[in-house]
Amino acid sequence: MPTEDIQAEVNDLFQQAFAATNVGDFATAEAYWTQILDRLPNNAAAWSNRGNARVSQNKLEAAIADYNKSMELAPDAPDPYLNRGTALEGLGRWEDAIADYNHVLELDPNDPAAFNNRGNAEAGLGQWERAIADYRHAADLAPDYAFARANYALAAYQAGQTDEAIRTMRNLVRKYPKFADMRAALTAALWVQGKRGEAESQWVSAVGLDSRYKDVQWVTTVRRWPPAMATALEKFLSLN
């Protein structure tokens, strides 16, 4: 057991690590987690959290090593598996990511994040019907999980379910007016349908909320929209 002085120091480091994370300073957060691990090398949560800080800096292999250590220390904790899956996705290791999400679902069969993330990995493999089912299940388990429902809409568009996709996008924008992702998606889908005035109105709101949607490469590689959705946005941008 750590002494009272060390415990007080660690508690302070925890607070500073989370504060750095909350402002997006992941390098500083990683440094704090490293200091914590110097003092508490058997703290599974600290290993997992340092992994998260490393993923946020795209240090994917180093993050996976941290998650592996966390799993050794706490084999029944779902978070390291969930988070390692995200890192594996970043490396394009879709099947390995799915295996991690399946393990999370063995530990907790009703984990909405595991269903959503498994959908992401299935999308990476082009398994759109499976992805649609997982996104839908995630959103049904957690009705306020807006990104799961958004992912469902994007995958439905990719699968040719255009009317269902647009209906879902409209519902999300109605419920979450500042949801830039869905406003940008609606822009693209409506533009392809020839509804140009409405598309442009959605676009003004989308880029006002998040200008990254002007960059198709970011949309494709970071946000990871499906190909059909990204192509629709590119058509809008090339003519606008």
DSSP 5-27: HHHHHHHHHHHHHHHHHHTT-HH
Burial class (CB in 10 A: 0-12, 13-18, 19+), 132: buried
Packing angle of the helix pair 60-73, 44-55 (nearest 10 deg): 160
Best CA proximity match to 134, nearest among 158, 162, 112: 112
Q: Which domains does the chain have, with CATH numbers?
A: 1-109 (1.25.40.10), 145-240 (1.25.40.10)
pLDDT mean over 85-107: 97
**Confidence check: pLDDT of 2 > 70:** no
Best CA proximity match to 119, nearest among 168, 83, 152: 152
| pLDDT value of residue 182 | 98
Name the pLDDT band for 7 (thresholds 50, 70, 90). Answer: confident
Name the pLDDT band for 8 (thresholds 50, 70, 90). Answer: confident
Residues 65, 57, 6: CA angle, nearest 5 degrees: 65
| pLDDT value of residue 42 | 96
| pLDDT value of residue 239 | 81
**Confidence check: pLDDT of 5 > 80:** no
Q: Which runs of E-coded beta strand occur in 91-196?
A: none
pTM score, whole prediction: 0.92
| pLDDT value of residue 240 | 55
| pLDDT value of residue 111 | 98
**Confidence check: pLDDT of 18 > 70:** yes
Name the pLDDT band for 6 (thresholds 50, 70, 90). Answer: confident
Q: What is the pLDDT of residues 222-232, one digit of tens each?
A: 999 999 999 99
